[in-house]
Structure 1
Amino acid sequence: MTQPFRPRDPLAPAQAYQTWSVKSRPDKAVKTVCERVGCAAWRLGWESVIDESTKLGKEQAAFIRLESRRTFREQRTAVGLTVFRFESGQRCFADHQTMPEKYVVQRGDYRAKVGELRVHTRAADWVEHVQEHMGRLLDEQAKG
């Protein structure tokens, strides 16, 4: 594996730096919510067209009406099908999976890892931490 380009050697020891990284295990998928995977049905809403003249269609329609716990409007088509129109912003009927990620802030740099400083479970918290740290660095730089 080739080493990344570095314009100059670090000026301070490894302990003076922090490394920010996102890690995931490609062999471990977990169930997740529509919003996290960018599900189009969650974002835009969706329609389910059900043929209630069949046993399966009757069971599907009964589930939607009585057990789905989702907001919908119901219409009948000219050919006798039932159309359930679901509003956006609610969980669809698919099982979504994603690779869980760890958002890590570690003491040290590429020369030596000195230990984990913090592990965030949410990307937004990790980004906020990066921004706060960069703000402190810019303040120190401005002071001289």
Structure 2
Amino acid sequence: MQPMNRVDRGLLAPGAYQTYSIAQPPDTLVRAACEEAGCVAWARGWQSTIDESTQLGAQQAAYIRTQSGRTFREQRTAAGLTVFVFEARQRCFTDHKTRPQLFAVRDGDWRGNPTGRTRQHARGSDWVEDFGEHQLRLIDQQQKG
């Protein structure tokens, strides 16, 4: 791990700072939606080819038709197989797992958090927006003197 670079001259009190961090807990997997997991089937759609002459194939086809809740078209191949063509932007049949990311903002700096105040954003985009707004406030304060 690379050592942290910190400027020690002209430091303000810790309470004058905010710390933005992204952490990823080790050994933690959570169920994720297709979009979060970057699922190609979700993004582009997919096809499932099923042999309905087998017991498993008949069960799979029945599930797709009556219980899956997915939007699809059915086609038949020359070999007698059923091809289900699923549209993009719908949940696929895979249970995706991903490691969660924690998007945090806390008062203070590396020396401590004097107020004890910490916020956690649910989405990375919210964290990025918060960080950008904070940067703009710093620029405004610097220009005002």
Q: Which TM-score applies when normalising by structure 2?
A: 0.91
Aligned with 1:91: secondary structure?
A: coil
Structure 2 residue identity aligned to 1:120 = H
Q: Which residue in the other structure is 1:36 paired with?
A: 36
1:113 alignment partner, SS class: coil
Q: Which letter does structure 1 place at the counterpart of 2:110?
A: Y
* Separation of aligned partners in 2, 1:110 and 1:94: 42
Cα RMSD of the aligned pairs, angstroms, is 1.6
Q: In the alignment, residue 41 of structure 1 is paired with which amino acid?
A: A
**What's 1:121 paired with?**
122
- For normalisation by structure 1, the TM-score amounts to 0.92
**Which residue of 1 is the match for residue 144 of structure 2?**
143
- The amino acid of 2:90's aligned partner reads Q
Go from structure 1 to structure 2 and tell me whether the alpha carbon gap of 1:80 and 1:112 turns closer, same or farther (over 3 Å shift): same
Q: In structure 2, what is the equivalent of residue 68 of structure 1?
A: 68
Offset at 1:3? 2.7
* Runs of 4+ with >6 A deviation: none
The CA deviation at 1:8 is 4.8
Counterpart CA distance in 2 for 1:84 and 1:73 is 6
For each residue in 1:32-58, what CA deviation from the matched residue of structure 2 results, as whole angstroms up to 9, or x when unmatched? Answer: 100001000000100000001100000
Mean Cα displacement is larger for which, 128-137 or 36-45?
Answer: 128-137
Residues in 1 aligned to 2:137 and 2:3: alpha-carbon distance in whole angstroms: 29
Gaps spanning 5+ residues in structure 2: where? none
1:12-27, aligned counterparts within 5 Å? 12-27=12-27
Are 1:104 and 1:116, in contact at CA under 8 Å, matched by a contact in 2?
no
Residues 13-66 of structure 1 show CA distances to partners (whole Å, capped at 9, x for unaligned) of: 211111100122122211110000100000010000000110000000000000
Q: Which residue is equivalent to 1:99? A: 99
Aligned counterparts of 1:112 and 1:9: Cα–Cα separation in 2: 17
Provide the rounded CA distance (Å) in 1 between the counterparts of 2:117 and 2:3. 23
Structure 1: stretches of 5+ with no match in the other structure? none
Distance in 2, matches of 1:26 and 1:117, equals 21
Q: Residue type matched to 2:67 in 1?
A: E
Shift of the alpha carbon at 1:108?
Answer: 1.1
Q: 1:30, 1:99 within 8 Å by CA — same for their partners in 2? A: yes
Identity of counterpart residues, as a percentage?
53
- Alignment-mate amino acid for residue 128 of structure 1: E
Alignment partners' CA distance in 1, 2:30 and 2:128: 23
Equivalence for 2:78: 78
